[in-house]
Structure 1
């Protein structure tokens, strides 16, 4: 674990919002020289605090207007390995996130679809035919608010 000061936290908040900010811009925002900001970002990267950059894709702009969280309980844990289920479910392009969880369900999936009928097609033809799938519970996302995370 790395010790973070207030400046490190401020840099992380800015980079979490926009990973393309240059060291010069970060320095201007936080009263640092460009080299000092770059050294701090490098230190955070080397420590594993910063892990790459991502581009946020607007799914709705691409025609994927429905997001559903699925709880999946495997029916036959002894017959189907978790690895077999994970390998099969990650091959479905509409499944964006696969989380192995503890609780009522064994897995939580984030699924995107063009509309509800497209989701029904994905559910019936792809997800329900996966090895070991038993109970499934769907929660359709009505709205979503991005939160800044633990750095506030």
Structure 2
């Protein structure tokens, strides 16, 4: 782990809010030069603190109005069934997140669908046919509130 000072934290807060900010604009906000800011960003990237930059898509604007969280308990457990399940589930484009979890279920999936009928099709034709699927529990997302990361909101 790299040492992260207050300036690094401020850079991370700004980038977490808008990953398209340039080093020059971040530097101007923090009273740093563009090269000094760029060196800090490069150091954070090289250390693995910055693991990438993402574009956040508006699923509803793209016609995907339903998000469902699925808890899946595998019927059979073992190394082979976990690998087979993970390989198969990550190939389904509507599955946005696959989390291997500890608790009541073995996996938690985040699925986007156009509507409830589209979700039913995905569930019946894609999820329920995956290797090892046993119990499934669906929770439809009603709303989502974005929360700041562990560094909190930018000052």
**1:27 paired residue number:** 27
Shift of 1:74: 0.3
Residue 78 of structure 1 deviates from its aligned partner by 4.4
The answer for the alignment partner of 1:54 in structure 2 is 54
**Per-residue deviation, 1:102:** 0.6
Q: Structure 1 regions of 5+ residues with no counterpart?
A: none
Aligned length: 152
When the two chains are superposed, the root-mean-square deviation of aligned CA atoms in Å is: 1.2
Q: Residue 140 of structure 1 corresponds to which residue in structure 2? A: 140
Equivalent in the alignment of 1:36: 36
State the TM-score, normalized to the length of structure 2.
Answer: 0.94
TM-score by length of 1: 0.96
Task: Name the stretch that deviates more: 25-34 or 74-83.
Answer: 74-83
Q: Hey, which bits of structure 1, 4+ residues long, moved more than 6 A?
A: none
Instruction: Map 1:65-144 onto structure 2 (within 5 A).
Output: 65-78=65-78, 81-144=81-144
CA-to-aligned-CA distance 1:81-109 (integer Å, 9 cap, x gap)? 20000111111111111111111000000
**Unaligned segments of structure 2, at least 5 residues:** none
- Distance in 1 (CA, whole Å) between partners of 2:77 and 2:42 is 44
